[in-house]
Amino acid sequence: MSGAPEDRASLTSRQIPEMLLSTRDNPLTAPRPPPENLNSSQRAQYRFQVKGNVVITGGAGTLGLEAARALLEHGASGLALWDLNPEQAFDSIKTLHLKFPDRRIMTEAVDVRNEAQIQTAIQSTVKVLGSINILCCFAGVVGVTPAIDMSASEWRRTHDINLMGSFLCAQAVARQIREQHTGGSIVFTASISAHHTNYPQPQCAYNSSKTALLSLAKSLAAEWSSYGIRVNTMSPGYMDTILNEGRGLTRARDMWNQRNPMGRMGDPWELTGPLVLLCSNAGRYINGTDIIVDGGAMVF
């Protein structure tokens, strides 16, 4: 059914919004080479220096905690661990406090699907740390359900947490960074599941949510460039964490190892190098890209 004439007229006369890219004279995106008076050791430290305060979603999980330690080791001045249940990692977070007594480390209970909770967490984080400069999104879920049997609620929950949750956190942090006029870095955790279909487990909802993150990061990298905000993704392969343990996974683990050129799963520590790259001075000209960290599984 065709619309009214006035509706058609409004379509032909409408003006669409246009994104504003950065320019070469924008100090937020200008190059920042090391000062000339640094020695070789200082230049090396400067290259991978992480400056400012970091928010990590899923911060009480194995990957989030490993990332937290690495970013603190490379100079992050403050850290906010957002998690649905931060108390589950009480001992690990206490250890971080002991290892980095001169840094500000806080936790916040956050459901990444809840805009109100995210906004409250932004306010609390800025109040304690003073600013937000880096966001690393590790909050996520995976389900192993055949597509033909999957309920609509399971599909929605997976996408709500993995995709919408990442967007809502990124949007809130980007607004804060824009207000600060500081620039910053956002890193989404995608997956090799965004690049190929897993085997043997069926997990179409997870795969599609992670594929969408790749596209989202590219869009945001363009839209937020004028604010000095870089947006990238990491795509881990199978990581040797508690989520991939148990006798019931022995057959699957054997398959994953056999299909990997390196013959094994990844150690969570092996994700921290690419993450530090994306968050540090070394990654200042990396924007809208994805780094696959999988031991070579994607060569097949």
Active site residue 191: yes
Residue 215 near residue 230, CB atoms below 8 Å: no
Residue 81 near residue 93, CB atoms below 8 Å: yes
Indicate which residue of 22, 210, 225, 227 is catalytic: 210
Closest C-alpha among 126, 131, 133, 130 to residue 108: 126
How distant is the alpha carbon of residue 229 from its chain centre? 13
Indicate which residue of 77, 166, 191, 225 is catalytic: 191
Cα separation, 261 vs 59, whole angstroms: 30
Cα separation, 104 vs 79, whole angstroms: 6
Indicate which residue of 77, 166, 193, 206 is catalytic: 206
Active site residue 77: no
Active site residue 40: no
Q: What residues are labeled active site?
A: 191, 206, 210
